A and B are shown apart, each in its own frame.
Chain A
Amino acid sequence: MMLEVKGLHKQFGGIHASRDINLVVEKHGVHAIIGPNGAGKTTLIAQLSGALKPDAGRLRFDNTDITHMSRHRRAHAGLVRSFQITSIILPMSVLENVMLAVQSTEGHSYRFWAPVSQDAELKEKAMQSLSEVGLGNRADQMAGEISHGEQRQLEIAMALALKPKLLLLDEPMAGMSKEESANMIELLKQLKGETTILLVEHDMDAVFSLADTTSVLVNGHIIATGSTDEIRNNAEVQKAYLGD
């Protein structure tokens, strides 16, 4: 078992963003979380990655209790997230963004003297992650100047460079054109074999073509978990979410 969520609660004023969420993400494969807007998907991801503290509940990741672990420690433990709203360092080059990620895996960065630009090993590792997502030819461009779809790919490259055990992808297809989405789906299919993915997504085509297991989140509560077919045919899910 990669990740276990037990009795997770989070309340903002009168709104229950997470209500007694129980979730098990098995090793390998893609576990998708779907749900209508405002179901609490991003709140869930934020609690898993450590950006938000749950009001109650426990989190176990890779046989360790991480309920009270800080964000940066979780990243080092192998729990790595990408963001729904593209979150990269815009005034840096594409390569430099990924180099920052690689640098993070190599111990502390209290190194004050040697210029990063001459660190061939660091560059090479970053280039590998970039090529993996198909951004090799954009390495020297500024992160703020590439297309939206490419920025989403860069997000993934940065996450991959951290050598994640579990990749939390928060709507990786958000705001993408049809073609860009198709490319991203291909990319995620390739990654499937390498790492476990928890995919929060709106795009049903993407979910049904990628996911091995799917959980449905409605009003902060998981109403069903099962294989793609089970979810498709679940009457409760159809009523609450699929709408037909």
Chain B
Amino acid sequence: MIGTLSKPSGLVYSTVIVLLLIAPVVISLMEHSFYLDLLTRILILTIAVVSLNLIVGYGGMISLGHAAYLGIGAYSVGIPSYYEVFNGYIHLGLAIGGSALFALVTGIICLRTRGLYFILITLAFTQMLYYTFVSIEEYGADDGLVIYQRSEFGGLLDIENANTLYYAVLVVLLLSLYLMHRLIHARYGKVLFGSKHNDERMQSLGYNTYQYKLSCYVISGTLCGIAGFFLGNFTNYISPEMMDWTHSGELIFMMVIGGTGAVLGPVLGTATFLFLEEFLSSITVYWHLIFGLLLIALVMFGKGGLHGLLSRMDRRWEKSQ
């Protein structure tokens, strides 16, 4: 997955992973807990982008509704907590079950459409969910709910501790990256790839591509629901705003910046997006303008995203060997 370590890409990715592993230690020495928050946020959203990358990069299904699953995951923590149920297994179970079910039901309908219609219908379903939660007064309507206590996992895991939460997220992220790596090279991944590029042909070869795409859509939604579970715990707060369509758009940006269809692309894309946002907003109030221009430049000139850039450097490096 990382390839030869001495290649430019191998160097970059292994450095990133080592940095992520030691970050909490370094940050605690520096006593800048803010950076741990930023990194935790990056990791959580990277899981979401990995899940999006599965349906877009491998399945060819461009969804503008992925924030729905972040919301479902987060509400799976928030609503039980509101009733003083703090059991983490229940929270996680709800997040997984809820997002899988939402993905299945909406997927059955969305996948009957293609292209622009698919994009719009995924957006429509997410907006439906958004307005549903806006209208539920009990759970704070558009003000949302404060989560006073994070999910409890018995004595096994105490994610009230910021470092523990960070490492829990990191482990889930690394596992999901490994899963993606296995999946795309296995039979399942080949069928997805084939139907992304020539659905017609795959059907004539005897594949029920609708079912394969639907299962892919459900896997992706479920993984994103897990990211949402962490997001709820991390922010100690839930609100319908998490499902706003602009967040779905941001996830797409992060994916494109990293390199759509590259297993490790989401790591680079999400980190770059959030670091840039953080850095620019700290130097000027007009940061949106600069940020927007940078995004346009990245999309226009960086074919294949940052991962594509690294691949080109790899090829140059190989030639020079």
Contacts and interface: CB of A to CB of B under 8 A. Distances in A.
Interface in A80-124: 80-81, 83, 87-92, 96, 99-101, 103-105, 109-117
Contacts, number: 92
A71 interface: yes
A80 B187 CA distance: 21
Interface SS majority for chain A: mixed
B191 interface: yes
Interface residues of B, number: 26
Given A91-B197, A115-B182, A158 B187 contact: no
A71 B190 contact: no
B186 interface: yes
Interface string A23-60: 00000000000000000000000000101000000000
A133 interface: no
B186 A87 contact: no
A15 B182 CA distance: 50
Nearest to B212: A109
Interface of B: 179, 182-183, 185-191, 193-194, 197-198, 200-209, 212, 215
Contact of A81 (B194, B204, B212): B204
Given A75-B206, A110-B215, A99 B182 contact: no
Contact of B191 (A80, A81, A88, A103): A103
Contact of B185 (A75, A81, A105, A117): A117
The 4 closest A-B pairs by CB, nearest first: A75-B206, A109-B187, A104-B206, A115-B185
A111 B187 contact: yes
A232 interface: no
Contacts of A92: 193-194, 197
Give the bracket for the number of chain A residues in contact with chain B: 35 or more
Contacts of B190: 96, 99-100, 103, 109, 116
Contact of A111 (B186, B204, B215): B186
B205 A162 contact: yes
B208 A72 contact: yes
Given A72-B204, A76-B206, 19 more contacts: A51-B203, A51-B204, A72-B203, A73-B206, A83-B200, A87-B200, A89-B193, A89-B201, A92-B197, A104-B206, A110-B187, A112-B183, A112-B189, A113-B183, A113-B186, A115-B185, A116-B190, A117-B185, A162-B206
Nearest to B215: A110
A75 B189 CA distance: 21
A70 interface: yes
Nearest to A168: B204
Contacts of B206: 72-73, 75-76, 104-105, 162
Contacts of A83: 200-201, 204
Nearest to B185: A115
Given A80-B204, A89-B201, A105-B206, A110 B188 contact: yes
A100 B194 contact: yes
Interface of A: 49, 51, 70-73, 75-76, 80-81, 83, 87-92, 96, 99-101, 103-105, 109-117, 158, 162
B224 to A, nearest CB: 18
15 contacts: A51-B200, A71-B204, A75-B205, A83-B201, A100-B191, A100-B194, A100-B202, A103-B187, A105-B206, A109-B191, A109-B212, A112-B179, A112-B183, A116-B185, A162-B205
Given A51-B200, A87-B200, A89-B197, A101 B205 contact: yes
A99 B203 CA distance: 15
A110 B192 CA distance: 11
A55 to B, nearest CB: 21
Most A C-beta atoms less than 10 A away, residue of B183, B203, B204 = B204
Given A76-B206, A104-B207, A112 B191 contact: no
A102 to B, nearest CB: 10
B193 A114 contact: no
B128 to A, nearest CB: 30
Contacts of B208: 70, 72
Nearest to B198: A89
A87 B194 CA distance: 11
Given A87-B198, A90-B197, A158 B205 contact: yes
A138 to B, nearest CB: 18
A113 B190 CA distance: 12
A87 B197 CA distance: 10
A149 to B, nearest CB: 19
Contacts of A114: 186-187
Contacts of B182: 112-113, 115
A8 B152 CA distance: 65
Contacts of A91: 197
Contacts of B207: 72, 104, 109
B186 A116 contact: yes
